């Protein structure tokens, strides 16, 4: 039991707990906050996996921007809780059964088939550093990178158009 493993176990438990918290909270605001916690732990995992740039992006983009947007919309609409519903009585048990089967399949894959394991080489120090990622982004992946800017612009225009009040009415 190395220190690494203990740290992983604790963080993993926190992440799963946070995810379950998001799933089970009645209040949407709590759900959002649990998700932020989950994102934070995942960011720590990224650092452990030699991906500091992605970890920073995770914190700033996901935990920061996106989740703030969620909270903002939840509070704007005032839809923290919803009244209980009678529709689709079979949905919930069926969903649980399917989720269990899915988890079982994953377990089988990991334990019986040993799909991915083995000694892991130690990468060079600069692996995953912002510098290396930047080099890759602006050399080999310049075109996709530029296209994401168009995608974001389209998303932005789309959001504005969708939420705009109809002047015709």
Partner 1 sequence: MTFFYLAPWIVFFPVIGLLVNIILGHRFSEKVVGTVASLASGLAFVASALLAYSLTQHPEAFRWTIGEWIHIGTLQLDWTFRVDTLSTTMMLVVSGVGTLIHIYAIGYMHEDVRFKSDLKRFRRFFVFLNLFIAMMMILVSGDSYLMLFVGWEGVGLCSFLLIGFWYEMDTLGRPSWANSDAAKKAMIANRIGDFGFLIASFLMFWTFRSLQFDQVFEQAPVIAASNPGLITAITLFLLVGVTGKSAQIPLYVWLPDAMAGPTPVSALIHAATMVTAGVYLVARSAALYVTVPAAQYIVAMVGAVTALFAATIAVGQYDIKKVLAYSTISQLGFMVAGVGMGAFAAGMFHLITHAFFKALLFLSAGSVILGMERGHHHLSKHEGHKGHEGEGSPLSSRSTPEGSRERARVREDRNHHEEIFDPGDMRNMGGLRKTMPVTFWLYLIGTLALAGIWPFAGFWSKDEILADAFRENFTAVYWLLTVAAFFTAFYMGRQIWMVFFGRPRHEAAAHAEESPKIITIPLMVLAVLSIFGGALNYPGIETLTKWLEHTIEFIQPGEFVMNVALISTGLALFAILLSWLLYGLRPLKKNQPDPLKKMLGPIFTGMERKWFVDEGYFALFINRYVDVARFTADMIDWKFWHDWFHEKVIAGTYNFLSNVTLNRYADQRGIDAFFNGLGEWTKNASAALRQVQNGFVRSYALFVLLGVVAILGYLLFK
Partner 2 sequence: MVDVAYYVALSAILFTIGALGVLIRRNPLIIFMSVELMLNAANLAMVAFTRVYTVLEGQIFVFFIMTVAAAEVAVGLALIVAIFRTKHSINIDEMNNLKG
Would you count residue 96 as binding partner 1 (CB under 8 A)? no
Residue 77 interacts, among partner 1, partner 2, none and using kind-specific CB cut-offs from 5 to 8 Å, with: partner 2
Would you count residue 116 as binding partner 1 (CB under 8 A)? no
| Separation CA 128–CA 112 (nearest Å) | 32
Q: Of these, 10, 68, 101, 153, which contacts partner 1 (CB under 8 A)?
A: 101
Helix segments in the chain, DSSP class H: 3-24, 28-48, 52-57, 67-77, 91-111, 130-139, 142-163
Would you count residue 16 as binding partner 1 (CB under 8 A)? no
Smallest gap from Cβ 167 to partner 2, in A, equals 14
- Range 70-99, binding partner 2 (CB under 8 A): 70, 73-74, 76-77, 79, 82-83, 85, 87-88, 91-92, 95-96, 98-99
Closest CA to 54 of 137, 151, 149, 128: 128
For partner 1, give the closer residue by CB, 113 or 114. Answer: 113
Q: Which residue has the tokens 């703030």?
A: 68
| Separation CA 134–CA 128 (nearest Å) | 10
For partner 1, give the closer residue by CB, 112 or 150. Answer: 112
Q: How many residues bind partner 2 (CB under 8 A)?
A: 80
> What tokens appear for 72 in the block?
């903002």
Would you count residue 117 as binding partner 2 (CB under 8 A)? yes
> What tokens appear for 10 in the block?
């604790």
| Separation CA 43–CA 133 (nearest Å) | 17
Cα 23–Cα 37–Cα 45 angle in degrees, nearest 5: 110
Would you count residue 133 as binding partner 2 (CB under 8 A)? yes
**Binding residues vs partner 1 (CB under 8 A):** 87-88, 91, 94-95, 98-99, 101-102, 105, 108-109, 113
């Amino acid at each position: 039991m190395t220190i690494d493993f203990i740290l992983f176990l604790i963080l993993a438990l926190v992440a799963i707990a946070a995810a379950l918290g998001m799933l089970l909270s009645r209040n949407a605001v709590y759900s959002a906050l649990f998700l932020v916690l989950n994102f934070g732990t995942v960011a720590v995992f990224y650092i452990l996996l030699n991906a500091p740039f992605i970890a920073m992006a995770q914190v700033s983009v996901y935990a920061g921007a996106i989740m703030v947007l969620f909270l903002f919309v939840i509070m704007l609409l005032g839809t923290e809780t919803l009244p209980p519903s009678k529709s689709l009585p079979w949905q919930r048990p069926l969903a649980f059964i399917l989720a269990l089967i899915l988890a079982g399949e994953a377990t089988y894959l990991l334990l019986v088939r040993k799909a991915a394991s083995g000694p892991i080489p130690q990468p060079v120090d600069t692996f995953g550093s912002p510098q290396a990622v930047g080099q890759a982004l602006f050399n080999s992946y310049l075109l996709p990178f530029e296209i994401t800017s168009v995608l974001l612009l389209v998303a932005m225009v789309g959001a504005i158009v969708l939420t705009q009040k109809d002047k015709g009415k």
